Structure 1
Amino acid sequence: MSRPLTFQMMDTHAGGDVSRIVLGGITPLPGATVREQMHYLRDDADGLRQLLLFEPYGIPEMSVDLIVPATDPEAAAGYIIMEVMGYPIYSGSNTICTATAVLEAGILPKREGVQRFKLEAPAGLVSIEARVENGVVEAITCEGLPSYIDTHRASIHVPEVGDVTYSVAYSGGFYALVEAAELGFDLSRDEERALADCAHKIVEAIQAERGFSHYTLGDVGPLPFLHFMGPVERVGDDFYRSRSATYVHPGVICRSTTGTGTSARLALMHHEGRIRPGDRLETVSLRETGFIGTFTGTHREGEHQVVENTITGKGYVLGHTQVVVNGDDPLVACAGLTHILEDNRSDR
């Protein structure tokens, strides 16, 4: 590649989790749905994810969201989520950031007050409610995926950790849920490395012992995530708060509590009879940021009582960037990337 190619990006964060929103410069992807386009990106163009999550452009703690045209006429836009562990079909923090970017970039014009629209994720249509005040997107409320408890208070012996009691929820991915205090953690910022190391050992032990299957998706791979739960404090008639930390990859504790982690907590609290429809849970991260999950109802899916929920947070714009991809740079890996970059060279 003799001349560099460029594409446009908006960096955002929600709860501390940085999402890099790719707004332009990528060719249309094949696929009749956003889910199929995600599969193409994963199988034939993974270079975009690798470019933006690793040096010299990024770090593994970030996420990338590629905005694509929606295939469902009800949606204002589609988006594909990329993280260090791969291509999740849904993410709360990424959805909050993408919805914010759709409005801030003018893909959908902002309107004062409460604005409702839909996005198309690989998981399907997602209803969005944005609150805009004085031209600023102050809050995004998005649907969480239907969530349920697969396993309640099982026990496993983990080398170097001991016997661990855990539950497993599905909320967009399978989560192991553990009580932080039972493992000696207060969920303070200085415990971040120790939390990541402990979570990695527990996740490896669970993966080695068993697998999990979703009631419609089937086998979605080994359990990837672990959510440390702090004590639940009641701060109002229908409002609860709990410190939390979510492990997503070796060495990586999310800066936010994660939307899917919050949905998993709602599923567990419902399973244990501790919340009612209309109740809210604020999960608070090691960095004192938070998301608010609202338990909106339940329905039955086979043998599972599935929790319907929403997640509320705020997305912040960090910057607007034109990324230059220069194949002559020895630090830049262009394999699996150049064929999806628009040919925007000046000599065309």
Structure 2
Amino acid sequence: MNRPHQFQLMDTHAGGDVSRIVTGGIDLLPGSSVREQMEYLRDSADGLRELLLFEPYGIPEMSVDLLVPATDPAAAAGYIIMEVMGYPIYSGSNTLCAATAVLEAGIVPKKEGLSRFKLEAPAGLVQIEARVHNDIVESVTCEGLPSYIDTYRATVNVPDLGAVVYTVAYSGGFYALIDARDLGFNLVRDEERALADCAYKIVEAIQAERGFSHYTLGDVGPLPFLHFMGPEEHVGEGYYRSRSATYVHPGVICRSTTGTGTSARLALMHYEGRLQAGDRLETISLRETGFIGTVTGIRQEDQLQVVDNTITGRSYVLAHSDVVINCDDPLVGCDGLHHILSDRDTSLPDNA
């Protein structure tokens, strides 16, 4: 018989995407940076991701973020992102949720007004601005990764769809950007399953035809994501709004528009000359939630127009819980997990 273990969790969501924040129950991971700790978790302890994203504890549409002590003294805490497709080095919605969690957990004091601090993601340091009113985290603005257009208006032949025009942006992962109207979509909730099925076919066709390489990171794997774009509405000076939907895995359309999907849109609109520094795009999801992307700067890198940006949204706390992990339970898979389970309370202390 194995003794049950416990994880301390804070469930949150941003734009409808649930991020399960692990605040305790896991031993300190080896690695001199959060990126190296993420790689250790990916290569040697993937059981944590599988445990919390699948039955009986979770569903593939969720994400898991493990809070860890930062290795960079400039950061208040580190976080490792786990999703059904693996370990992204950055995610906008997960960053919004992680930032809210460190405030709610007291790692960063939750002071009235505007607070600024840094978190350490596998991608590096991320600047955070959080606004607190009446002890409630009302909004969070986080840096998006520098984004750029890799391929503009290419065509791929897709089974059952024919020739599909797509653009590829990098914004933390490679995204195929698709005009939803070209495929007959209005980006409403009733289309969710059809959008997922359509996106799967397009992504599979692009992956079979070609790969993509980041100008500094090199090969980061096959293109995983697709972002459906609705018509853009000009709602004010330098302010636009558009319905959007992001595909991340077979059968999975994100509840939110995603931060990285929004950043990819900023890169495209700037590439086409329709957004400049200071301009904003609000993306609206199938569930009527939204994120606001802001272009904060433009620079030239290796003949690429790189768009610096921020993502603004709100994360809500859903629950605080202790999850019991009983490895004798036939529905619970503990393979690849035993060696990182803690026998003590490892919740991050204040100002970890």
TM-score strictly above 0.5: yes
Look up the equivalent residue of 2:182 and give its one-letter code: E
Look up the equivalent residue of 1:241 and give its one-letter code: R
Partner residue, 1:119: 119
Q: Distance in 1 between matches of 2:104 and 2:209?
A: 46
Partner residue, 1:21: 21
Cα deviation 1:230-254 (Å, max 9, x = unaligned)? 0000000111000000000000000
Cα deviation 1:158-181 (Å, max 9, x = unaligned)? 011111000000000000000000
Partner residue, 2:276: 276
Residue 40 of structure 1, CA deviation = 0.2
1:288 correspondence with 2:291 = no
Look up the equivalent residue of 1:271 and give its one-letter code: Y
Look up the equivalent residue of 2:295 and give its one-letter code: F
Partner residue, 1:309: 309
Q: Distance in 1 between matches of 2:265 and 2:257?
A: 11
1:265 correspondence with 2:265 = yes
Partner residue, 1:178: 178
Q: Distance in 2 between matches of 1:76 and 1:343?
A: 25
Superposition RMSD in Å:
0.8
Q: Is the 8 A contact 1:239 1:280 kept in 2?
A: yes
Q: Secondary structure at 1:146's aligned position in 2?
A: coil
Look up the equivalent residue of 1:158 and give its one-letter code: V
Partner residue, 1:213: 213
Look up the equivalent residue of 1:36 and give its one-letter code: E
Residue 186 of structure 1, CA deviation = 0.4
Q: Secondary structure at 2:331's aligned position in 1?
A: coil
The structure 1 segments of at least 4 consecutive aligned residues displaced by more than 4 Å after TM superposition are: none
Q: Distance in 1 between matches of 2:250 and 2:328?
A: 31
Cα deviation 1:154-207 (Å, max 9, x = unaligned)? 111101111100000000000000000000100010000000000000000000
1:227 correspondence with 2:238 = no
Q: Distance in 1 between matches of 2:269 and 2:327?
A: 51
Look up the equivalent residue of 1:258 and give its one-letter code: T
1:93 correspondence with 2:93 = yes
Cα deviation 1:52-78 (Å, max 9, x = unaligned)? 000000000000000000000000000
1:333 correspondence with 2:352 = no
Look up the equivalent residue of 1:243 and give its one-letter code: R
Q: Distance in 1 between matches of 2:233 and 2:108?
A: 38
> Pairwise mapping of residues 337-348 of structure 1 onto structure 2 (< 5 A)?
337-344=337-344
TM-score (norm 1): 0.98
Partner residue, 2:65: 65
Residue 276 of structure 1, CA deviation = 1.3
Cα deviation 1:115-171 (Å, max 9, x = unaligned)? 000000000000000000011100000000000000000111101111100000000
1:53 correspondence with 2:53 = yes
Q: Distance in 2 between matches of 1:276 and 1:215?
A: 23
Q: Distance in 2 between matches of 1:207 and 1:43?
A: 24
How many residues are paired up?
A: 345
1:243 correspondence with 2:263 = no
Q: Is the 8 A contact 1:5 1:344 kept in 2?
A: no
Please list every run of 5 or more consecutive structure 1 residues that lacks an aligned counterpart in the other structure: none
Q: Secondary structure at 1:309's aligned position in 2?
A: strand
Q: Distance in 2 between matches of 1:173 and 1:342?
A: 32
Residue 344 of structure 1, CA deviation = 3.9
Please list every run of 5 or more consecutive structure 2 residues that lacks an aligned counterpart in the other structure: 346-352
Q: Percent identity?
A: 79
Look up the equivalent residue of 1:253 and give its one-letter code: I
Cα deviation 1:82-135 (Å, max 9, x = unaligned)? 000000000000000000000011111111100000000000000000000011
Look up the equivalent residue of 2:58 and give its one-letter code: G
TM-score (norm 2): 0.97
Cα deviation 1:250-285 (Å, max 9, x = unaligned)? 000000000000000000000000011111100000
Partner residue, 2:3: 3
